[in-house]
């Protein structure tokens, strides 16, 4: 979704290599042969297009392909370079749910927070647990993230202060295209008719705020200040070749009937986390890869199961609703952790960055980049989820002079 501030709306774009098709311009020129209202491509978000349903999404994609591969020249102004294109939040998000479906992340965090106890609660293998996040603070890639404040424990006493344990979480989100009506749950096998596509998602987390507040409820302020997503939504159709059964095919115990989905539902994504600091950028250093994760080896629960579970009680969903996968981590927390909490063993063993800097948690000026793609390097059919980027801006709340919050 490109921004069109002149018109006060957005322009729906279809990525094609390092160019993008301006679908509104293509429709207006007559080159895009598809029977849909051109207003869908000049809206403030993808939501009106999402509400049309899967047959329309597929028809648009096929018409764009026919236009690009056909004999006629693509009209001027239809194909535009992606670099420098001003992007806006692609969807208007009514509801945002974040899951906890990564098995290594769940085990790693339990070992850090509750050492010596059984890492997975009895419900964890029975249902894809999740919490409702704050839809209004989901931001598009590139927006800065202001260091949040909250009640944290300082020498055992609660104090309102900027977080000193700011973290990222490497996640993949899915966007609901067609919602479901109240009282009509989505069957796991019908999820493809409801899910439009995927984004990369960074669930920024203030670990000190989260640790003190989440007893017994939460997460709340430790998470609600910001969530970043990539600007492009990659459709399920574009990912079809790369879906694998993954861990959901080997779930033990077998999940409840409503959570059983036929077919492969895990995208075989390669994920990376990169960090660059102000000093690194000043010295001309490239961002450093701090973690590499195979999504298919990280996720115990699939998005089809997440959607089936979220609606089994009859709850409705709407076009543009966003669901996060939960943090994706591999088995080795030191090199495959999807968060700094894992990479630094709870902030006790820093990561080393090029130039000699060390990080336990994020400092002001640090930039976090999440990247994801399917297919091997050099594979011409590679499908990229692009990246989601965010830089930490200094806190706007000073530590309160009174130690009592």
Q: Which chain residues interact with Ca ion by CB under 5 A?
A: 98, 169, 203
Output 169 or 321, the one with its CB closest to Ca ion: 169
Output 13 or 341, the one with its CB closest to Ca ion: 341
3-state secondary structure of 169: coil
The three-state (H, E, C) secondary structure of 15-74, written as one string: EECCEEEEHHHHHHHCCCCCCCCHHHHHCCCCHHHHHHCHHHHHHHHHHHHHHHHCCCCC
DSSP H/E element including 322: strand 322-324
CB 296 within 8 A of CB 268: yes
Instruction: Respond yes or no: is residue 104 known to be catalytic.
Output: no
Output 150 or 264, the one with its CB closest to Ca ion: 150
Q: Tokens for 68, please give them.
A: 């690009």
Output 167 or 387, the one with its CB closest to Ca ion: 167
Contacts by 277-280, CB closer than 8 A, 24 or more apart: 277/353, 277/355, 277/357, 277/359, 277/363, 277/365, 277/366, 277/367, 278/365, 278/366, 279/355, 279/357, 280/353, 280/354, 280/355, 280/357
Output 178 or 227, the one with its CB closest to Ca ion: 227
Give the CA dihedral 95, 101, 104, 106, nearest 10 degrees.
70
Q: How far apart are the C-alpha atoms of 1 and 230, rounded to whole Å?
A: 10
DSSP H/E element including 207: helix 207-213
User: Which residue carries 């994020």 as its tokens?
Assistant: 362
Task: Write phi, then psi, for 127 (nearest 5 degrees).
Answer: -155, 150
CB 355 within 8 A of CB 322: no
Buried b (16+ CB within 10 A) or exposed e, 78-92: bbbebeebebbbbbb
Q: CB of 128: closest distance to Ca ion in angstroms? A: 13
**Overall residue count recorded for the chain in this entry:** 405
Output 57 or 323, the one with its CB closest to Ca ion: 323
Q: How far apart are the C-alpha atoms of 31 and 72, rounded to whole Å?
A: 9
- Catalytic choice (19, 105, 194, 270): 105
Give the CA dihedral 137, 140, 145, 146, nearest 10 degrees.
-50
Q: How far apart are the C-alpha atoms of 272 and 50, rounded to whole Å?
A: 29
Q: CB of 13: closest distance to Ca ion in angstroms? A: 28
Output 98 or 208, the one with its CB closest to Ca ion: 98
Q: CB of 294: closest distance to Ca ion in angstroms? A: 18
The residues assigned a catalytic role are 105
């Amino acid at each position: 979704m490109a921004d069109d501030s002149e018109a006060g709306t957005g322009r729906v774009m279809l990525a094609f290599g390092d160019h993008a098709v301006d679908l509104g311009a293509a429709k207006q020129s007559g080159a895009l042969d598809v029977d849909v209202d051109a207003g869908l491509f000049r809206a403030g978000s993808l939501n009106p297009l999402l509400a049309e349903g899967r047959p329309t999404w597929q028809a648009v994609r096929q018409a764009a392909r026919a236009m690009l591969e056909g004999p006629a020249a693509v009209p001027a102004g239809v194909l535009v370079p992606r670099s420098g294109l001003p992007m806006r939040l692609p969807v208007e998000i009514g509801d945002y749910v974040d899951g906890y479906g990564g098995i290594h992340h769940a085990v790693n965090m339990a070992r850090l927070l509750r050492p010596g106890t059984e890492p997975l609660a009895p419900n964890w293998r029975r249902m894809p647990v999740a919490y409702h996040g704050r839809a209004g603070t989901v931001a598009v890639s590139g927006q800065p993230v202001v260091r949040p404040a909250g009640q944290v424990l300082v020498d055992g006493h609660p104090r309102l202060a900027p977080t000193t344990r700011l973290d990222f979480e490497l996640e993949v989100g899915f966007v609901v295209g067609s919602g479901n009506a109240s009282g009509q749950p989505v069957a796991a096998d019908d999820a493809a008719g409801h899910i439009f596509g995927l984004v990369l998602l960074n669930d920024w987390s203030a670990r000190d705020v989260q640790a003190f507040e989440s007893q017994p409820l939460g997460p709340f302020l430790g998470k609600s200040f910001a969530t970043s997503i990539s600007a492009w939504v990659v459709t399920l159709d574009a990912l079809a070749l790369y879906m694998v059964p993954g861990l959901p095919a080997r779930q033990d115990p077998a999940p409840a009937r409503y959570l059983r989905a036929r077919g492969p539902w895990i995208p075989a994504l390669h994920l990376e986390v990169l960090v660059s600091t102000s000093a690194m950028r000043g010295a001309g250093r490239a961002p450093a890869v701090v973690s590499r994760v195979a999504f298919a080896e990280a996720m115990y629960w699939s998005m089809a199961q997440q959607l089936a579970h979220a609606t089994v009680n009859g709850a409705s969903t709407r076009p543009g609703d966003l669901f996060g996968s939960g943090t994706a981590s591999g088995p080795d927390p030191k090199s495959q952790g999807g968060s700094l909490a894992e990479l630094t063993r709870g902030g006790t063993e820093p990561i080393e960055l090029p130039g000699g800097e060390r990080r336990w948690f994020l400092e002001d000026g640090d930039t976090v980049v999440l990247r994801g793609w399917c297919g091997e390097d050099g594979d011409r059919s590679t499908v990229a989820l692009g990246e989601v980027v965010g830089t930490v801006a200094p806190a706007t709340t000073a530590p309160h002079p009174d130690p009592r919050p």
